Structure 1
Amino acid sequence: MALGLRLSLLILLASLPVFLIQLVHDIELRKNREDAILSTAETLASLVAARNDRIVEGSRLLLIAASYLQSIRDKNAEQCNVRLREITEQVPELTAMAVLSPTGERWCVSLAGTGGLNLADREYFQATIRSGTMQTSNFIVGRQTGEGSIVFTYPIRGPTGDIESVVFLAYRTSVLSRMLNEPTLPAGAVVALLGRDGVVAARWPDPANWVGKNLSSSDVIVRAINDRRGKQRGVADWAGPGEYAFAFAPVNPPTNLTVVLGLPLTATLQEVESIFWREVAWTTLIFSLAAALAMIGAHLMVGRPIRQLSASVDALAQGDFRSGQSVSVRGSKELNFLAVHFKDMAKTLEQRQSQLVEAVKHKELLIKEVNHRVKNSLQLVASLFGLQRANIKDPEARLQFDEAGRRINTVAQIHQRLYQDENVDQVSFDRYLEEFCRELNSAMGGAGKISIVCETAPCHLPTDQVIPAALMINELITNAFKYSYPGERDGTIRVGCRPERDILIISVADDGIRLSEDFDPASSKGLGMRMITALAKQLRASLEVVQNPTGKSFVIKVPLRKESK
């Protein structure tokens, strides 16, 4: 990081506490305003729920009073119809009243010509019969009136305590919608009264377009129905565009009604947001100007001398130690002091590099000489095996001497490659295989008989891995010559290698006779296959036998170390 930039950062870090204090203050101000709006929404929702509590209580008292009408007690349908009609005319909020038998049949109604309808399947009626208490319905539309309403039911018990009748009234939801805005709600507010099923029973504003709609897919409504009381921020299409502060409160039992009220946050917080971002902008501008002044000062007083020193460092990185020793800096006493020590360092590095270059050259020369001598010694041993073989009469013993000689020659070729290559730590394994296959073609193959084809991609192996890998390939090719082509058969042996991610894949395939289906290299009794298995374990490599339509393939997967990738 540039020194000028560091100075700027120091100034910014020194100013950071002030910036953070201002930022935290602004965030708290915004948060407090949000909390205040949520609390207001919660208070308003509770007030609306309380007003609806009074409606529920008034309906309960009206039902109780109706239950004591003599015409209802006497089950005089004609007089009962007249009395209920009088009540609904006096209470315009009601769309209908009725009295039902315990089996759900209406025997007394306020609407002419609507008797006899059975309501036994209604959930609110069944709940009244089960509980013996007052119950309310979700939003419904009357069959005769076509108006939206909420039904209240109350049981009438006889002398024995059994339910003899159920008195019923339907309350207009249009009235409920108007009452939601009494007293007048804040601008932009929305309030809805919902049943347990999520259907809007009353809403303000715009009740005509929303009453009767099911909002149970809204996350806000789901939480309101389940929790009955609470508050949250959120977005809801049914409330309007932007974010709202929602609060919900229950209308007291026995109802399943919930009040959901929303106050617009987006518009309300606009002024707070404007103040917040204006203060952030001013604070950022002041700190940016301070940082810019620091960078200009650093450029004039520190940057130029540092660049002079940096140019010498770059030259030193490229190996130009002379430039590093001639560095000259015009600047402060501290920078001149640094330049003097830099010159001394450059001189010392030049001396050390010269020593290291000589040491590396000497090491490589020694390693190549060792590999050359090892190769000569192995070839001498192979020649001695050849001389000894000439005196052996037993064909099997002569064959064993031949195989041992080939193994020794394989190792000798690796050492020859090591002192011929420039890199003494690794071997170009693909080039080695190509030479190895050419020599085997000359030594073991013959025109019109068995040929060896080498298919390789560029790859390298460390010296401690290349000898076991080469011996495995030698054994697999030898086995192919010995066992895959009986009776002077012609054929082709294919040798390949290719790197793939973190492994080197080596393959030896022939088109001779196939192996038995249960062949297992690890269980083989032959010396060659035992050697192959042991060498694979030494390399931590996997050995796989693949039966081809003609012949078979041996696939060796050698894990590559980083230096050989």
Structure 2
Amino acid sequence: MHRVEGFFREITRWFRKREDQTAFRYGVAVAFFGVALGVRFVSDKALPPGFPFLTFFPAVMLTAWLVGLWPGIVCAGLSALAAWFFFIPPAFSFDVSPPVLVALGFFLLVSAVDIAVIHGMRLAQEKLSAERNTNAALVVHQKTLYAELQHRIANNLAFVASMLTLQSKKLQGNREATDALTDARRRLETLSRIHRKLYDPDNVNVPLRTLLRDIAEDVLHTRDGRIQLEVEVPDITLPAEQVMTLSLFVVEVLTNSLKHAFSAGQGAVTIRLDDTKPDVFVLSIRDDGPGLPGGFDLAASKSLGMRILHSFARTLKGDVAFTSERGLKTCLTFARVA
């Protein structure tokens, strides 16, 4: 069935491409009329009396659909004349008796209705096709502008990061200020890389597992084999805005692990996402470092990293919790987006 529909669609498209060729259009009308006339002659003895117009209706309808209004009218006129002369008794004459004129009138009326309906369908289809082409062009233009915007944003982030690098070199004597600028630069560079990755047109349908693995490897530099990474995330896709915040959350946690858990540059990290609950996702990130220091009060902590993590959790309409057992486990519970 689909093959038949595809065939007729291609045939229609082939004829529509030649609508500016007037001779071709009227030639098609004459050709369809000729085929209908030939079929009517061949089947004349097989048909009962009273069907002089039988084979001409399909010719008129096909002509009107494939090559337009006026060729359809020409085909209808030729068909009426041929049926009148050859197949309405007395044959080979143009009898003008009332029954003959009534039969011709009905044929022309039905043909006119068919042609009018088909012409309306053609106009509607052409309008729909034009709107689809316009919408497709607008979508392409929108995607181009959006990609350009994201590219500029990523470039601006990278530029600001480079400016922070230059500024930190001027503050070599101030360790605290240098560390703050270096930390800000790293965050901006990471944000720039994530931004490029997430808004790359080639990554539109990339599963979350692949994105998180790439981002984690980028932060941990696991390709040298010193930090083992395990990612247990289902092959799901989330909205880009949610993925961006989630990625930044993962980056912040892993950055903290690099600072505090992997001071020697070695260790293991496991990233898991539990999607079995109906309303929320649960993301857990565990490292095998020493965990939280003794007496550390999470509720009273005012460190920048903790504030950033809680801010990301609020953006995702979720909560973050920490467990210090055989390393540090960070759990983010966030709402599903319908």
TM-score by length of 1: 0.38
Bigger helix fraction: 2
Matched, 1:339 2:115: no
Please, which of 132, 139, 163 is the counterpart of residue 353 of structure 1? 132
Q: 1:419 to 1:447 in 2, by over 3 A?
A: closer
The answer as to whether partners of 2:284 and 2:330 remain within 8 angstroms in 1 is yes
Question: How far did residue 371 of structure 1 move?
Answer: 1.2
Larger Rg: 1
Partner residue in 2 for 1:384: 163
Q: Distance in 2 between matches of 1:554 and 1:346?
A: 57
Secondary structure at the residue paired with 1:407? helix
Partner residue in 2 for 1:364: 143
Partner residue in 1 for 2:181: 401
Partner residue in 2 for 1:230: none
**460-469 or 322-331: which moved more?**
322-331
Structure 2: 5+ residue stretches without partners:
17-61, 67-71, 73-106
Q: Which amino acid aligns with 2:253?
A: L
Q: 1:419 to 1:463 in 2, by over 3 A?
A: closer
The answer as to whether partners of 2:198 and 2:244 remain within 8 angstroms in 1 is no
Equivalent runs, 1:235-274 vs 2, <5 Å: none
Q: Which amino acid aligns with 2:328?
A: K
Partner residue in 2 for 1:483: 260
Q: Distance in 1 between matches of 2:187 and 2:6?
A: 52
Secondary structure at the residue paired with 2:332? strand
Matched, 1:494 2:270: yes
Q: 1:474 to 1:522 in 2, by over 3 A?
A: farther
The answer as to whether partners of 1:315 and 1:323 remain within 8 angstroms in 2 is no
Secondary structure at the residue paired with 1:561? coil
Q: Distance in 2 between matches of 1:399 and 1:319?
A: 66
Q: Distance in 2 between matches of 1:359 and 1:342?
A: 25
Please, which of 236, 244, 247 is the counterpart of residue 467 of structure 1? 244
The answer as to whether partners of 2:158 and 2:189 remain within 8 angstroms in 1 is yes
Question: CA deviation digits over 1:477-496, x for unaligned, max 9?
Answer: 1222223356x484212233
Question: CA deviation digits over 1:36-82, x for unaligned, max 9?
Answer: xxxxxxxxxxxxxxxxxxxxxxxxxxxxxxxxxxxxxxxxxxxxxxx
Q: Distance in 2 between matches of 1:496 and 1:347?
A: 52
The answer as to whether partners of 2:208 and 2:234 remain within 8 angstroms in 1 is no
The answer as to whether partners of 2:216 and 2:250 remain within 8 angstroms in 1 is no
Secondary structure at the residue paired with 1:494? strand
Question: CA deviation digits over 1:440-473, x for unaligned, max 9?
Answer: 2339x9765x444444332323232223222211
Matched, 1:555 2:246: no
Question: How far did residue 422 of structure 1 move?
Answer: 3.8
Secondary structure at the residue paired with 2:249? helix
Bigger strand fraction: 1
Equivalent runs, 1:71-220 vs 2, <5 Å: none
Question: How far did residue 510 of structure 1 move?
Answer: 0.9
Q: Distance in 1 between matches of 2:249 and 2:10?
A: 44
Q: Distance in 2 between matches of 1:511 and 1:525?
A: 24
Matched, 1:410 2:190: yes
Question: How far did residue 416 of structure 1 move?
Answer: 0.9
The answer as to whether partners of 2:220 and 2:254 remain within 8 angstroms in 1 is no
Q: Distance in 1 between matches of 2:196 and 2:10?
A: 34
The answer as to whether partners of 1:459 and 1:498 remain within 8 angstroms in 2 is no
The answer as to whether partners of 1:497 and 1:505 remain within 8 angstroms in 2 is yes
Q: Which amino acid aligns with 1:442?
A: H
Structure 1: 5+ residue stretches without partners:
1-309
Q: Distance in 1 between matches of 2:15 and 2:295?
A: 70
Q: Distance in 2 between matches of 1:544 and 1:321?
A: 63
Secondary structure at the residue paired with 2:238? strand
Q: Distance in 1 between matches of 2:189 and 2:273?
A: 21
Matched, 1:322 2:102: no
The answer as to whether partners of 1:494 and 1:509 remain within 8 angstroms in 2 is yes
Question: CA deviation digits over 1:203-260, x for unaligned, max 9?
Answer: xxxxxxxxxxxxxxxxxxxxxxxxxxxxxxxxxxxxxxxxxxxxxxxxxxxxxxxxxx
Q: Distance in 2 between matches of 1:509 and 1:400?
A: 26
Partner residue in 1 for 2:200: 420
Equivalent runs, 1:498-517 vs 2, <5 Å: 499-500=275-276, 501-515=278-292
Question: How far did residue 365 of structure 1 move?
Answer: 0.9
Partner residue in 2 for 1:15: none
Q: 1:483 to 1:355 in 2, by over 3 A?
A: same
Q: Which amino acid aligns with 2:13?
A: R
Question: CA deviation digits over 1:138-169, x for unaligned, max 9?
Answer: xxxxxxxxxxxxxxxxxxxxxxxxxxxxxxxx
Q: 1:531 to 1:441 in 2, by over 3 A?
A: closer
**434-443 or 356-365: which moved more?**
434-443
Q: How many residues align?
A: 246
Q: Distance in 2 between matches of 1:344 and 1:523?
A: 71
Q: Distance in 2 between matches of 1:467 and 1:457?
A: 17
- What is the aligned-residue identity percentage? 24
Q: Distance in 2 between matches of 1:360 and 1:320?
A: 28
Q: 1:395 to 1:497 in 2, by over 3 A?
A: farther
Secondary structure at the residue paired with 2:283? strand
Q: 1:366 to 1:489 in 2, by over 3 A?
A: closer
Matched, 1:541 2:318: yes
Q: Which amino acid aligns with 1:402?
A: T
Q: Which amino acid aligns with 2:332?
A: I
Question: CA deviation digits over 1:361-406, x for unaligned, max 9?
Answer: 1111111111111111111111221222223233333222222122
Q: 1:526 to 1:323 in 2, by over 3 A?
A: same
Question: How far did residue 407 of structure 1 move?
Answer: 1.5
Matched, 1:434 2:213: yes
Question: How far did residue 541 of structure 1 move?
Answer: 1.9
Q: 1:474 to 1:507 in 2, by over 3 A?
A: same
The answer as to whether partners of 2:229 and 2:270 remain within 8 angstroms in 1 is yes
Q: 1:554 to 1:351 in 2, by over 3 A?
A: same
